[in-house]
Structure 1
């Protein structure tokens, strides 16, 4: 089983859900497409880690609701005791930053501005999640405590990313202003002067 499979089990251990709903729940923490999720759900159901039933809907197509089985809980518990691997970093921004010497400053600024906007959206999303966790449930011993620390992790990461973007943009724009000033201070040749 891959990490996404365990993530799906983790969300279904909390609450039975449709494939679509579990996809929405996992998105803030693990990027996955429905083309990845649905085959995993089917495979885990075949392996008796999940069960499912259909809910009829009058104005929408019927939806399949997945629930975790005792075998699924057992598999999830076993996974919790496996050693944690080092995180995998695959961010296109890092590679584009490495190549920024090949582009102009306006494009570099646009790239960083785009990522800054992403971090602002993430931060807003995590802050909304945080508001849904009751203050009295944020202590150790409550199931919501783990939601709380995970949402805080998301806030810290988004804030760090936002700070980095702001730092890079400040340098790029400061240099842009210096270049603009230096260019405007160039002496303008007189009519009689050869260029």
Structure 2
């Protein structure tokens, strides 16, 4: 099983959900598309890690609700004891930053500004999530504690990303001002 499969099991261990609902829940932590999620749900159902039933809806298509089985819970618990691999970083901004010497400064600024905007939206998103967890539930032993520490991780990562963008933008703009001043003098 891949990491996304375990992530799907983790969300279904919390509550039965449709494939679409699980996709929405996992997005803040793991980017996954419908085309990845639905085949994995079907495979895990074949392996009896999940069960499903259909719910009829009026004015909408019927939806399939997945629930984790005891075998799925066991598989999830086994995964918790597996060694944690090093994180994988795949960020197009890093590759574009590596190539920024091939573009003009305005485009470089636009690239970094776009990512800064993304991090600002992420911070807003995580801060809103944080307000949904009462203070008394933010301690070890409460299920919400684990949501709390993951949300804080998201806040720390988004803050670091936004800070980096601001640092790069200051450097790009300061150099732009120096070059403009030097051209004016000449």
Q: Give yes or no for TM over 0.5.
A: yes
Structure 2 spans left out of the alignment, 5+ residues: none
List gaps (5 residues or longer) in structure 1.
187-195
TM-score (norm 1): 0.94
C-alpha distance in 2 between matches for 1:90 and 1:21 = 25
Query: What does the per-residue CA deviation read over 1:30-73, in whole Å, with 9 as the maximum and x for residues that have no partner?
Result: 00001000000000001000000111110110000000000000
Q: What residue is the counterpart of 1:35 in the other structure? A: 35
**SS state of the match for residue 51, structure 1?**
strand
What corresponds to 1:142 in structure 2?
A: 142
Write out aligned runs for 1:32-181 (5 A).
32-181=32-181
Aligned partner of residue 53 in structure 1, secondary structure: strand
Matched residues, number: 186
What is the CA-CA distance between 1:171 and the residue it aligns to? 0.4
Residue 183 (structure 2) aligns with: 183
1:185 offset after TM fit, Å?
Answer: 2.3
* Residue in structure 1 matched with residue 25 of structure 2 by the alignment: 25
Q: Name the CA distance, whole Å, in 2 between partners of 1:65 and 1:84.
A: 30
Q: By how many angstroms is 1:182 displaced?
A: 1.7
SS of 1:67 mapped into structure 2: strand
Shift of 1:181: 1.7
Equivalent position of 1:191 in the other structure: none
Q: Distance in 2 between matches of 1:26 and 1:61?
A: 23
1:140 alignment partner, SS class? coil
